[in-house]
A and B are shown apart, each in its own frame.
Chain A
Amino acid sequence: MTHWIVAPVVLPALLAPFIVLAARYHIGIQRAFSVAGVLALIAIAAGLAWQVSAGTILLYQLGDWAAPFGIVLVGDRLSTLMVLLTSVLALFVLLYAIGSGWDDRGRHFHALFQFQLMGIMGAFLTGDLFNLFVFFEVLLIASYGLMIHAGGNARLRAGVQYVLFNLIGSTLFLFALGSIYAETGTLNMADLAQRAKLIGAEETAGIRVAAVLLLLVFAIKAATVPLHFWLPSSYAEAPAPVAALFAIMTKVGAYAIIRVYSMIFPPELEVTSGLHDVWLLPAALVSLAIGMAGVLAARKLDRLVAFSIIGSMGMVMVAIALFNPPGIAAALYYIVHSTLAGATLFLISDLVRTGRANLELLPQAPVAGTALTAGLFFTGAIAMAGLPPLSGFLGKLLVLEAAYGTDLVVWIWAVVLGSSLISILGFARAGSVLFWKAHSVEPQADGPALPRPAVLSYVAVGGLISLLAAHTVFAGQVHGYTTNIAAQLFAPEPYIATVLDTPGKLSKPKEEY
């Protein structure tokens, strides 16, 4: 049994208290340890992804207790891909936070950052639904701290909304878990997958309610309309590096939907039939439309980016709701793209803020360094709106291709293409107001000199954009790998067998003691 799979959870969990206890007043030491920890995470995640790329499934029994009695961590292609994505994103976000000085504007940024990583990694790796709830809470409580980092009234007010909404979501999650446990007597995902099939046709009321409640909880996390109301204010008011890290949090919801509804409640299961095509798909289409309409309607740049996150989550959910292997493969390709593009745009909006008094979409006098920021915004906007040549275009193409031949193909194509047009308009309007019309305003001679963004900030944003470029250049390989992931998800028998048949502490024969 390899112990490496627990390292992405344990490493940040040890690093965070160390940063609080030992390096409290030394921002330099905090930065060094935080960056070193994230670099180590990337190495571990890459190693794990390499190990499972052939299709093996890594299992880690906590305390050596066999499933379903103990809690297990499971690493397959999907979860290790998400862990790798999180750690790579975390590195660039951290570099930006250090470069822009955001981490020094309040206390305990690095400790909370590490706790947040611990929660996200755990949520991706766990094989137990209640453990998923616990890791959700870990990542949420760290995100509450990060969200109000550096304080300010507007941020605190948005923070109250964010925390309240998520508390209600957590309560809903507990209701779902309670009803699942009452119906099946287990919370281990692999065990649930076997028991959900056994429920008779006339006793499905409880498990149906549980499946819908669980879908609602994950839809809150994934900001699917009509459960998206928490996102615009909180992402717009959160410090930019934090909002960029939050780009992965909506994907935790998408990941949970893929995991639970491919393994426990697969589309062919009679109990939950209709959940994806009748409910999830229209909701996803509406979120796509509303998100992109919000891009056009937003009056501030940070809100615009927040709405583009909702729109891109809508795109991901459309691909997921198709629930066929090409759809999941396209969704995973788009998840990687949308995480990187969303984070890039949040960081760029902070670069814009450095040279302006606010982020209102009104012409203001140009400042030093705008040309480079404008170029970066142009690239990020192209990626997010899904224009060629960047990966957003390819992702959209894959979603359209996966939708071809399904019943709702007309609706999906119409909404995806129409919303793309709207988002292009929205980004073009924002970019031209912010950067081109700036030259029509006379700069005030006696105004305070605004500082240029630090070089490290540009390095972080440039790194994310080069990752997007790599995601485009190696699209064939990445899509091939996501196709393999989808194949593994739609044949969950090895996963279930690995989890349930591996002996633990008490299942060993007597003579081994």
Chain B
Amino acid sequence: MELLVASAIGVMTAAGLYLVLRLRTFPVILGISLLTYAVNVFLFASGRLTTGAPPVLRDGMTVYADPLPQALVLTAIVISFGMTAVVVMIGLGAFLGSNDDHVDDQPDGEEDGAESTS
């Protein structure tokens, strides 16, 4: 299970980083979503991986699941969800307004986005 979780975090982070480095808004937003998925799983794993263990103290139990990371993950999910919605709206506004969805600053005089990268 450790290998599965660790490689899942690694692959999502790598894919997210690649997408974040793209030039256009849509892949970058996808990349940030992937990164937030990765960090959610990472936070979840920071309380150690246990299966079938209770999160609150009980008689006759020696292994417990840490409940705090689950609270952290919930907070992180809510925040990243809200933030992604905000950036989609602002990105849409910028795209519809200037008919160009490049993330970086365009040099002066090339505002129409003639180059077709990404």
Residue ranges of A at the interface with B (Cβ–Cβ < 8 Å):
130, 134, 137, 140-141, 144, 148, 151-153, 156-157, 159-161, 163-164, 167-168, 170-171, 174-175, 177-179, 181-182, 233
Contacts and interface: CB of A to CB of B under 8 A. Distances in A.
Nearest to B98: A153
A422 B82 CA distance: 43
Contacts of A156: 90, 93-94, 97-98
A163 B39 CA distance: 18
Contact of A168 (B35, B43, B79): B35
Given A167-B87, A168-B20, A174 B94 contact: no
Given A153-B94, A170-B80, A182 B87 contact: no
Contact of A163 (B69, B87, B104): B87
Which 5 residue pairs across A and B have the least CB separation, nearest first?
A: A156-B94, A182-B46, A153-B97, A178-B46, A153-B98
B94 to A, nearest CB: 4
Interface of B: 20, 25, 28-29, 32, 35-36, 39, 42-43, 45-48, 68-69, 72, 75-76, 79-80, 82-84, 86-87, 90-91, 93-94, 97-98, 103-105
Nearest to B79: A137
Contacts of B79: 134, 137, 170
A171 B32 contact: yes
B46 A160 contact: no
17 contacts: A130-B72, A137-B83, A140-B83, A141-B83, A144-B86, A144-B90, A156-B93, A156-B94, A157-B98, A160-B91, A163-B90, A164-B32, A167-B80, A168-B20, A171-B39, A175-B39, A181-B43
B68 A181 contact: yes
Is chain A's binding surface mostly helix, strand, loop or mixed? helix
Contacts of A182: 45-48
B90 A171 contact: no
Contacts of A163: 83, 86-87, 90
A171 B103 contact: no
Contact of A178 (B43, B82, B83, B93): B43
A137 B79 CA distance: 7
A141 B86 contact: yes
A131 to B, nearest CB: 10
A460 to B, nearest CB: 28
B47 to A, nearest CB: 7
Given A141-B82, A156-B97, 5 more contacts: A137-B83, A140-B83, A156-B93, A160-B87, A160-B91
Contact of A181 (B72, B75, B91): B72
Contacts of B104: 161
B90 A175 contact: no
Contact of A164 (B46, B103, B105): B103
A161 B28 CA distance: 10
A182 B79 CA distance: 21
Contacts of A151: 93
Contact of A179 (B25, B46, B87): B46
A116 to B, nearest CB: 14
A167 B94 contact: no
A157 B42 CA distance: 32
Contacts of A179: 46
A134 B74 CA distance: 12
A137 B77 CA distance: 12
A171 B39 CA distance: 7
Contact of B39 (A130, A141, A164, A178): A178
A178 B97 contact: no
A168 B71 CA distance: 21
A134 to B, nearest CB: 7
A373 B47 CA distance: 58
Contacts of A175: 39, 42
Contact of B83 (A157, A161, A167): A167
A178 B86 contact: no
A167 B87 CA distance: 9
Given A134-B75, A170-B79, A170-B80, A160 B69 contact: no
A137 B36 CA distance: 14
A148 B84 CA distance: 16
A139 to B, nearest CB: 12
Contacts of B39: 171, 174-175, 178
A160 B25 contact: yes
A157 B111 CA distance: 12
B35 A233 contact: no
Contacts of A171: 32, 35-36, 39, 80
Given A130-B72, A134-B79, A175-B39, A161 B103 contact: yes
